[in-house]
Amino acid sequence: MTETPLAAADVVVIGGGVVGAAVFHELADRGVSVLLVERGRAGLGTTAWSGGIVRCYHDDPVLTARATVGWRYFRDFAARTGIEVPFVESGFLYVPHPSWLAHARAAVVEAAGEAPMEWLESTEADLRFGHLLNAPVDGAVWEPRAGYADPIDITRAYLAAGRAKGGRVLEGVEAGELLRTGGRLRGIRTRSGVIAAERVVLAAGADTPRLLDSWGVPHDLWAQAIQVELRLPEGTVKDHPAYMDDVYDVNGRPDAESGGMLLGHPTGQRVDGRAGGLPADPDQTRRAVAAGSSRFRWAAESASLGTLRAAECYASDPSARVAPVPGETGILLATGFNGGGFKMAPWAAGEIARLVTGDQTGVQTGD
């Protein structure tokens, strides 16, 4: 590389969404020389459209453990970063599919003492949440201390905290070509100049598959649309938790700001990868409202307050891609969260920091 670099760092993070920002902060916190480049304004990609729900239960105990790292982190955000961002404790209700009931009940028992969740038998679930439900449930997972945080505020706070710890952020700078010499990574090219670095963390969300293609790196990632409706119920809906229901495939939470309810339903639609918002699909809105009405009393008579649709990076299994790229010295991936990357960001940041520094302690869990 003969050009005078625009900047240099040991690690360059590409992408200023919640994942890149969390990685940036974690590396800066550990004294790593780190620089983050963001094509636009940080936090305004897919992260800006996120519900920010942070819950622990997952069907896979490994994912439950990772999400629990996130839950602890976001509840304790000010102590970790020095910046206050409120965590709204709405509680979280998960309704498993009947075929998964025994598994979910056993998973709650297995996670006892690690993750803050309890099992509700059908009658108990009905007693607590029957006023919301259109159909009885056979059993449910209840997380009274789960909730949500504002994803844009969290992302900007991560960046501010990382800067205060010595990291640098360049906004409006798009990473392009990878620069290599003799198979060794030397940096990245941007329109504003070259950034010298021996390690790159690719946290470009839905842009990741396209970037990897442009670098000639094989992968199994794609961009997929997530669409969430913002619905205004007709009357007052009291004591509504954040929720996920695998019987009717709906998820969401109350939205204190608008007084509405977020209501998501999987799209299964692959899209051209670009992090951030997409035009709403009215057929998907109809499907979501129909599915939501099967589960909740308030959904059928609710009015639209808008639709949030954005592209997310998906991988062929739900365990995310937070790892070195095989055969590619110096490139680490932090993506492929299949729609759950907000809650997983603190875990991903700890994992990347472990890979970069060799420090086995990972992100502090607060234990």
Ligand X SMILES: Cc1cc2nc3c(=O)[nH]c(=O)nc-3n(C[C@H](O)[C@H](O)[C@H](O)COP(=O)(O)OP(=O)(O)OC[C@H]3O[C@@H](n4cnc5c(N)ncnc54)[C@H](O)[C@@H]3O)c2cc1C
Please report how close the Cβ of residue 8 comes to ligand X at its closest, in angstroms.
17
Question: What 3-state class would DSSP assign to 196?
Answer: strand
- Nearer Cβ to ligand X, position 139 or 141? 141
Contact map string, positions 197 to 216, toward ligand X, x by CB under 6 A: ------xxxxx---x-----
Which residue in 7, 37, 161, 289 binds ligand X (CB under 6 A)? Answer: 37
- Nearer Cβ to ligand X, position 15 or 292? 15
- Tell me the residue length of the chain: 367
**What does the alpha-carbon distance between residue 283 and residue 65 come to, in Å, rounded to a whole number?**
36
**Residue 18, C-beta contacts closer than 8 angstroms, at least 6 positions apart:** 43, 47, 50, 151, 154, 155, 158, 341, 342, 345
Contact map string, positions 329 to 358, toward ligand X, x by CB under 6 A: ------x-x-xxxxx---------------
Stretch of 51-59, 136-144, 161-169, 358-366 lying at the interface with ligand X (CB under 6 A): 51-59
Q: In one letter, which amino acid is 272?
A: D
**Residue 188, C-beta contacts closer than 8 angstroms, at least 6 positions apart:** 12, 14, 37, 175, 176, 177, 178, 179, 194, 195, 197, 200
Question: Applying CB under 6 A, does 194 fall inside the site for ligand X?
Answer: no
**Interface of this chain with ligand X, residues 223 to 242, rule: CB under 6 A:** 226, 228
CA dihedral of residues 20, 12, 167, 358 (deg, nearest 10): 90
Question: Applying CB under 6 A, does 27 fall inside the site for ligand X?
Answer: no
Stretch of 18-26, 118-126, 178-186, 299-307 lying at the interface with ligand X (CB under 6 A): 18-26
**Residue 123, C-beta contacts closer than 8 angstroms, at least 6 positions apart:** none
- Nearer Cβ to ligand X, position 76 or 171? 171
Which residue in 34, 35, 53, 250 binds ligand X (CB under 6 A)? Answer: 53
Which residue in 39, 80, 231, 265 binds ligand X (CB under 6 A)? Answer: 39
Angle at 310 between CA 309 and CA 311, to 5 degrees: 140
**Residue 216, C-beta contacts closer than 8 angstroms, at least 6 positions apart:** none
Residue 241, phi then psi, degrees to nearest 5: -85, 170
- Nearer Cβ to ligand X, position 5 or 339? 339
- Nearer Cβ to ligand X, position 182 or 279? 279
Contact map string, positions 87 to 116, toward ligand X, x by CB under 6 A: ------------------------------
**What does the alpha-carbon distance between residue 88 and residue 289 come to, in Å, rounded to a whole number?**
25
**Interface of this chain with ligand X, residues 250 to 279, rule: CB under 6 A:** 275
Stretch of 27-35, 39-47, 124-132, 324-332 lying at the interface with ligand X (CB under 6 A): 39-47
Residue with tokens 């590389």: 1
Contact map string, positions 158 to 177, toward ligand X, x by CB under 6 A: ----------------xx--
Q: Encoding tokens for residue 336?
A: 């492929």
Question: Residues interacting with ligand X, by CB under 6 A?
Answer: 14-20, 37-40, 45-47, 49-53, 174-175, 203-207, 211, 226, 228, 275, 308, 310, 312, 335, 337, 339-343
